[in-house]
Amino acid sequence: MTRRPRIRDVAELAGVAPSTVSVVLNDTEGARVAGSTRDRVRAAAAELGYVPNSLARGLRTQRSGTLAFISDVIATTPYAGQLIQGAQDAAWEAGYLLMLVNTGGDKTLEEHAVRALRQQQVDGALYATMYHRSVTLPRVLDGLPTVLLDSRPAEGATTFVVPDEQQGAQSAVEELVRHGHRRIGFVRDLHDGPAVDRRLRGYEETLTAHGLEVDPGLVVRERSDSAGGDRAAGVLLDSERPPSAIFAFNDQMAIGVYRAAAARGVRIPQDLSVIGFDDLYVVSSELTPGLTTMALPHREMGRLAALALIAERDGAEPAGEMLVPCPVVRRGSVGPASPAAATPH
Condensed to tens digits (0 to 9), the pLDDT of residues 270-287 reads: 999 999 999 987 787 789
pLDDT for 133 equals: 83
| pLDDT confidence bin for 95, thresholds 50/70/90 | confident
Number of folded domains in the chain? 3
Could you tell me if residue 93 is inside a domain?
yes
Average pLDDT over residues 312-331: 92
Are residue 217 and residue 248 in the same domain, yes or no? Answer: yes
Q: Which of 62-76, 194-208, 306-320 is modeled with the greatest confidence?
A: 194-208
Helix 194-209 / helix 165-178 crossing angle, nearest 10 deg: 40
The answer on pLDDT for 116 being more than 90 is no
CB 146 within 8 A of CB 124: yes
| pLDDT confidence bin for 304, thresholds 50/70/90 | very high
**Cα R_g (the chain), whole angstroms:** 27
Are residue 207 and residue 233 in the same domain, yes or no? Answer: yes
The answer on pLDDT for 129 being more than 60 is yes
Are residue 35 and residue 94 in the same domain, yes or no? Answer: no
- State the residue range of the domain holding 185: 165-295
**Summary mean pLDDT of the chain:** 88
pLDDT in tens, 72-83: 765 556 667 888
Average pLDDT over residues 292-298: 94
Average pLDDT over residues 215-220: 96
What are the percentages of helix, strand and coil residues in the chain, rounded to 5?
45, 20, 40
